Amino acid sequence: MGARTADAAPHGETSSIVIRPALAEDAEAIARVRVDSWRETYRGMIPQAYLDAMQLETSRAMWEKVLAAGSPAVGVFVAERGTEIIGFSSGNRLAQPKHGFDSELSAIYIRREFQHAGIGRRLVAQIARSQRALGASGLIVWVIAGNKAARTFYERLGAELVIEQPFQWDGMDLVEAGYGWRNLDALTADLPGVPPSDTVLQ
């Protein structure tokens, strides 16, 4: 792992960022991070009209439902700085394994000013830990093929490229890449300098 520098996150102080299981009342903040991040990340990758039409309220309602349901198979974690949620990740067990992977990292989004400071790695680690605690042995994630930054991130975390394939999202024709970890050991290992609170499972 490369050294983290103060430049990595202009807001500074990322060691004070806590990763914790999400609560139902986090739904709006999670939705806000997701909508903002989609608009920033996927500009030029998916149709602009779709990004413009995204509704915070629709996303909030969806996350509230997920969090209130509290399914044991689903894990959602937030990265919090003070009282502000600056990123989140979610994952779930797959009843039917995909390409031999029995759990899925279903979302990970971090506000731009906090990227490149090790928070993504911590958020993936929490999903891997919580899914392993549920009995999972592997983890797969799907990324829009043109999202080179995220692809590099998964590669740096040791994922293998499993497949690239066309897919449909809300009627849009896109190409996705699947990356997977067949073994969760490296992902779940303790990270230097990371607070013990990160090991709290959902």
Ligand X SMILES: CC(C)(COP(=O)(O)OP(=O)(O)OC[C@H]1O[C@@H](n2cnc3c(N)ncnc32)[C@H](O)[C@@H]1OP(=O)(O)O)[C@@H](O)C(=O)NCCC(=O)NCCS
Those residues with Cβ within 8 angstroms of residue 49's Cβ, 6 or more apart along the chain or in another chain: none
- Give yes or no for a contact between 110 and 37, defined as CB atoms under 8 angstroms apart: yes
Q: Read out DSSP for the chain?
A: -PPP-GGG-TT---TTPEEEE--GGGHHHHHHHHHHHHHHHSBTTB-HHHHHH--HHHHHHHHHHHHHHT-TTEEEEEEEETTEEEEEEEEEEEEEEETTEEEEEEEEEE-GGGTTSSHHHHHHHHHHHHHHHTT---EEEEEETT-HHHHHHHHHTTPEEEEEEEEEETTEEEEEEEEEES--HHHHSPPTT--GGGG---
Residue nearest to ligand X (CB): 120
The residue (of 11 and 156) whose beta carbon lies closer to ligand X is 156
CB of 120 to ligand X, least distance (A): 2
The residue (of 72 and 120) whose beta carbon lies closer to ligand X is 120
CB of 86 to ligand X, least distance (A): 10
CB of 84 to ligand X, least distance (A): 15
The residue (of 77 and 109) whose beta carbon lies closer to ligand X is 109
The residue (of 65 and 156) whose beta carbon lies closer to ligand X is 156
The residue (of 89 and 130) whose beta carbon lies closer to ligand X is 89
CB of 150 to ligand X, least distance (A): 4
CB of 57 to ligand X, least distance (A): 21
The residue (of 72 and 160) whose beta carbon lies closer to ligand X is 160
CB of 195 to ligand X, least distance (A): 15
Residues at the site binding ligand X, with contacts judged by CB under 6 A: 1-2, 37, 41, 108-110, 115-121, 143, 147, 149-150, 152-153, 156
Which one, of 145, 139, 111, lies nearest residue 124 by Cα?
Answer: 139
